Amino acid sequence: MTREEEKRLIVLAAIIRLGGDGTKNQVLDEIERAELMKFSPSDLEQCATRDELYWRNDLAQIRRHLAAEGYISNQKWNHWLVTETGRSHFASLASRLGSQRQFHHFNPVALAAVTALASNHQISDDNALSGETALVEGQQTQRWTNTYERSPQLRAAAIRVHGLVCMGCGFNFETKYGAIGAGFIEVHHTKPISSLGGAASVDPTSDLVVLCSNCHSIVHRKRPSPLSLEALRTLVKNPA
């Protein structure tokens, strides 16, 4: 992985941590706050031509490269908005971290945070499959599934509205696990996607909630309809 690819990964990770959209200062501040980048002495020098630290100016240039290739959208002025292609680019770059032996811009904290984000930033799979068949030939298995499209923008909107604390039990992944849990929460559809009958309007305020993995699993223990948030909260307070 080249130095520029590492920087691309850092920029995309920060935007995704913010829900997929942020101003320049928000994204760069998130990189510094979450320690997503290892800074060299030269990174912390002031640019000769701008009243800005070198690393911030450098990553702004990386953002321009990402935008030119369609990984970041220019639809909103002064906003760094990651596209679907950008999310795929992020996942592709992150998949190579495991085979990397030396890093130019990653420290252990940043590496753990980006690796966790790559594993968890996709919207969760509640009711994503409707039936499954398998044909086994030797050691190979072929599967056919019905899948339902999910919007990363809705996930980002749900997190902006509800935050990153489980609405069922109050669990926070970052508080419990530190940097590796930062930015992680599961998004639950109060109305299963498979019941919508095709494309439908979803209100992140009323139709989506954020849950920890345990609560998310429990609400789906009741089939075919999941437990409501109110029922889940009652269960948490009074398991009997």
Q: Which domains are delineated in the chain?
A: 3-120 (1.10.10), 132-237 (no CATH)
Check whether the bond before 224 is cis (ω within 30° of 0).
yes
Model pLDDT, residue 185? 86
pLDDT band at 152 (very low <50, low <70, confident <90, very high): low
What value does the CA radius of gyration of the chain take, rounded to a whole number of Å?
20
Contacts of 129 (CB under 8 A, 6+ apart): 145, 146, 147
Query: pLDDT tens across 84-98, in order?
Result: 889 889 988 888 887
- Given a cut of 50, whether residue 51 has pLDDT beyond it is yes
pLDDT band at 179 (very low <50, low <70, confident <90, very high): confident
More confident residue, 224 or 106: 106
Query: pLDDT tens across 100-138, in order?
Result: 778 888 877 778 878 877 766 544 434 333 333 344 444
Model pLDDT, residue 127? 38
Distances in Å between the Cα of 120 and the Cα atoms of 98, 150, 181 are 16, 14, 9
In the chain, alpha helices (H): 3-17, 24-33, 54-68, 84-94, 108-120, 152-162, 173-177, 213-219, 229-237
Model pLDDT, residue 147? 34
Q: How many CB atoms lie within 10 A of CB 209?
A: 25
SS3 53: strand
Is residue 42 packed enough to be buried (19+ CB in 10 Å), middle (13-18) or exposed (0-12)? Answer: exposed
Confirm if 210 and 185 have CB atoms less than 8 A apart. yes
